[in-house]
């Protein structure tokens, strides 16, 4: 870290990246009330896990004065797993109740009459004899957001994959959680965010020395940010039903 400017420089996706608390508050976090500690922890996680927040690999989400959550995308999970020399593929599917029988399907395809109960995932490692097997239930992880209503099988399967990958590669993924995960260290339930496209001009103080001309022109100008689904100020986004809190693409 550059102590003078509080800038962290690290490699991500084959390129050098620079981030600072000012950049995180201006471009990454929706809520400007994020504390110095929350920003610092987010920056350190990005550096340690080589995550690029400008490519939507990690988010700092905070609403209504609650503790901030650090959310990682499923794509980032897959990249980390595939970069591990011992990763040997995965299988995943849904768990349904069909004709008085419990069925383990492959993929996210289920029949209209199936009762979706959960999902399973197997992650294979070259250095282990048996795969890491995980099963999760809809009752524990399911949400009432639009994506969970329209694609419940797809969403619960993805959540099973993320949980299995984290257990299979704890050194690489142990401290990373997605929006649909149950983080045991979470001190408050934060409403799931929704993506919108927001175009911002690059502030003058963020020149090429701070984050790079390429990031400034190509990424920060057209980046995606999160906003609360219930935020009334975002008129262009259709307001979803109220979310009941319990808990890529």
Total domain count, the chain? 2
End-to-end Cα, the chain, rounded Å: 32
Higher pLDDT, residue 94 or 214:
94
The CA R_g of the chain, rounded to the nearest whole Å, is: 19
Amino acid 166: pLDDT: 93
Query: What is the extent of the structural domain holding 115?
Result: 85-168
Average pLDDT of 67-82?
90
Considering 150, 168, 186, which residue would you say is the last residue of a domain? 168
237, part of any domain: no
Q: Buried b vs exposed e over 171-195: b needs ≥16 C-beta within 10 Å? A: ebbeebbbbbbeeeeeeeebbbbbe
- Does the predicted model carry a pTM greater than 0.75? no
What percent of the chain stands above pLDDT 90?
A: 49
Q: Are 166 and 147 in contact (CB under 8 A)?
A: no
1, part of any domain: no
247, part of any domain: no
Average pLDDT of 189-201?
41
Higher pLDDT, residue 199 or 66:
66
Helix residue spans in the chain (DSSP H): 21-23, 36-49, 74-82, 138-141, 146-150, 152-168, 170-173, 213-214
Instruction: Compute how many other C-beta atoms are within 10 angstroms of the C-beta atom of residue 99.
Output: 8
Considering 168, 186, 219, which residue would you say is the last residue of a domain? 168
Directed axis angle between helix 74-82 and helix 152-168, to 10°? 40
| 128 & 105 share domain | yes
| Each residue's pLDDT tens digit, 173-189 | 988 888 877 554 454 44
246, part of any domain: no
12, part of any domain: yes
DSSP string, 55-99: GTSEEEE--TTPPPEEEE-HHHHHHHHHTSTTEEEEEEEEEEEET
- 3 state SS of 132: strand
């Amino acid at each position: 870290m550059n102590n003078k400017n509080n800038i962290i420089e690290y490699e991500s996706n084959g390129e050098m990246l620079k981030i600072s608390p000012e950049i995180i508050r201006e471009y990454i976090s929706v809520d400007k009330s994020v504390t110095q500690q929350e920003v610092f922890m987010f920056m350190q996680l990005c550096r340690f896990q080589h995550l690029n927040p400008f490519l939507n690999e990690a988010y700092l989400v905070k609403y209504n004065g609650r503790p901030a959550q650090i959310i990682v995308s499923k794509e980032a999970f897959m990249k980390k797993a595939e970069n591990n020399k011992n990763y040997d593929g995965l299988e995943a599917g849904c768990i349904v109740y069909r004709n008085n029988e419990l069925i383990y399907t492959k993929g996210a395809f289920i029949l209209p009459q199936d009762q979706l109960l959960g999902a399973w995932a197997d992650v294979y490692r070259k250095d282990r004899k048996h795969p890491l097997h995980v099963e999760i239930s809809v009752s524990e992880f399911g949400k009432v957001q639009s994506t969970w209503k329209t694609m419940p099988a797809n969403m619960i399967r993805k959540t099973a994959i993320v949980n299995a990958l984290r257990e299979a590669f704890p050194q690489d993924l142990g401290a990373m959680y997605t929006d649909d995960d149950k983080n045991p260290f979470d001190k408050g339930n934060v409403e799931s965010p929704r993506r919108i496209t927001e175009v911002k001009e690059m502030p003058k103080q963020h020149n090429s020395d701070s984050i790079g001309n390429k990031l400034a022109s190509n990424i920060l100008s057209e980046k995606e940010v999160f906003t609360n689904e219930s935020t009334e100020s975002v008129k262009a986004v259709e307001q979803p039903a109220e979310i009941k809190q319990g808990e890529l693409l």
